[in-house]
Structure 1
Amino acid sequence: MHAMPGPRHERPKDEADGDVAAVMDRSLHFWVPTLPGAVPAARREVAGQLGLWGLRPRAAVVETAVLAVSELVTNTVRHAAEASARADVHLGMDRRHLMVAVHDRDPRIPRRPEVPNLDGSGGWGLHLVEVLATEAGGRTSIPRDPDGGGKTVTVLLPL
């Protein structure tokens, strides 16, 4: 059994350790390997960071963001691991929005089937993320990397 390394962080150097509620523009970048154990690690990291930013754990926006990261990292593990050894996760928050993005280096853009597979074999994750974002008044996008060698699935949620 191999131990999975924890998320790698790049935190803003000017972020105060004390009263984080006073700082409105926030950002966190970390990456996880495209292995199954990465999904719960990414979920815990996002939930913990949003708590540090002053969002309540049971707030709808937190639950939506955590679920989105879980589904998007799962998709990267399942569908992009061969082309991308890691999933890069970015969180951003300002006064009005919370942004969650997951990047990988697989050039294929995910296509949501019209009807997810009823046997549970796929198609539900991205559909669920899109529906939750829309119901929250947010949106999703999937821009390609400038070099065409990857993409970022981005979810923007209102606070």
Structure 2
Amino acid sequence: MQHSRKLTTIGFDADDTLWQNEQFFRVTEKRFAALLADHAEEDRISARLLEAEKRNLAVYGFGIKGFTLSMIETAIEVTNGQVPASTIAEILAAGREMLSHPIEPLPHARETVEKLAGAYRLVLITKGDLFDQERKLAQSGLGELFDAVEIVSDKSAATYSR
């Protein structure tokens, strides 16, 4: 016997679904590699940064703050502990810039969410830093279109089944 279920709820991701996000990480990573260009090649710096990010996920979680701390850690490693304070200051400034970049919904994001809002229960499920995700949602102007917002530390099957 086949059971038919009516779709009642749609879940949306936020970053790179409703607004740009990843591009800011890539631009900052390029800037970071340029800061350390005297110490290592860009590919090596990027690889070391990725290793640091993976290592630090369990401690810092996802988001810009963890990324910034991973850049500082990588700078210390790549320079054998000789990274100048001015370089650390530039890394921190880059992190602050990422945390304050303006948010604009991607093309057609608002109209798509508005169309669906009338017919379905809409849930925004995004991972990352609570303050940063709340800021981005508020700036996007899309928050009022969702019936629920879940900002989680990581996404798993258990997260979605809640």
Per the normalisation by structure 1, the TM-score is 0.31
User: Which has the higher relative contact order, 1 or 2, with Cα contacts under 8 A spaced 6 or more apart?
Assistant: 2
After TM superposition, the score normalised by the length of structure 2 is 0.31
- Return the index of the structure with the highest Cα Rg: 2
- Structure 1 or 2: larger strand share? 1
